[in-house]
Amino acid sequence: MAPTAITNSIRRLRFEHGEMTQQELAERVGVTRQTINAIEAGKYSPSLEVAFRMAGIFGVRVDDVFHYGGAPQSPKDGVP
Amino acid sequence: MSFREKTAWLTLCAIVIVTVMFWLHSPTGFNAHNHHWVMLALLLSLGTYVCIEVVGYVVLRLRYPRDARTPRDERERLIDLKALRFAYYTFVIGTFGGIFFMLHLVHAGAGTIGTVVLAAFVTAQLVKHAVRIVYYRRDA
């Protein structure tokens, strides 16, 4: 899967939460360790559900975990 | 290596082993004289494939019980869908391309066309599992 325009702070948040391992986070989120690794490396963008679950585990908002680095979109974008 | 990648390797190896065995030991194509032999070879190949898969899967489950219990997550489902798409195109192109080639250029009989369809199916399965492995490796 191609690298995405979304960056994240998962590694920092894991260390701030008692040096949580990828395996521990994966078990709490309900995905595999390889998926956490792919998300952390920016190779895979998770679904909203997984993103919210991660944010909930770290006790922060979703946009504290994930950051969109692409060009800002106008409100018309995405409207059919 | 994730559990799903291990199972993809297992299936890929099983298909390669069984396919090589089948093509080395069976006559080419169905016809009125050998169709019993070919059907027997197909059934034996299918049985061998199922045995390799079942034994291999049980061994993997016993060696990696925690990984095996982890349900397939969204990324793995996405990888499976992508692999299925590659396999679908391989099957369609292989089947229709093979039938066209055999009918119009070689003037082959129905038995040979059956073999071509079988080959397209096996190739599609190989492609599916190879693509799964590539995607798992790339994201590991």
Can you tell me which residue has the tokens 């059956």?
B114
Q: Which residues of B13-33 are buried (b: 16+ CB within 10 A; e: fewer)?
A: ebbeebbeebeeebeebbeee
Tell me which amino acid residue B76 is: E
Question: Which of B73, B78, B79, B132 should we substitute to test contact with A (largest number of A Cβ atoms within 10 Å)?
Answer: B73
Contacts of B82 (CB under 8 A, 6+ apart): B131, B135
**pLDDT, tens digit only, all 140 positions of chain B:** 888 889 999 999 999 999 888 877 765 555 556 677 778 888 888 999 999 999 999 999 999 888 888 888 899 999 999 999 999 999 999 999 988 887 777 777 777 788 888 889 999 999 999 999 999 888 65
**What pLDDT score does B139 carry?**
66
DSSP secondary-structure letter at A60? Answer: S
Domain boundaries, position B34: 3-139
> What does the pLDDT look like over A4-57, one tens digit per residue?
678 889 999 999 988 899 999 998 999 988 899 999 988 888 999 999 999 999
ipTM: 0.75
**What pLDDT score does B30 carry?**
52
Beta pairing partners, A66: A8
Instruction: Compute and round to an integer the Cα radius of gyration of chain A.
Output: 13
Extended strands (E) in chain B: none
**What pLDDT score does A80 carry?**
43
Q: Considering only alpha carbons, which residue of chain B is nearest residue A47?
A: B74
Q: Considering only alpha carbons, which residue of chain A is nearest residue B78?
A: A1
- Distances, alpha carbon B5 to alpha carbons B54, B57, B119, in Å: 16, 12, 24
Q: How many domains does chain B have?
A: 1
* Chain A positions touching chain B (beta carbons under 8 Å): 1, 30-35, 37-38, 41, 43-44, 46-47, 50
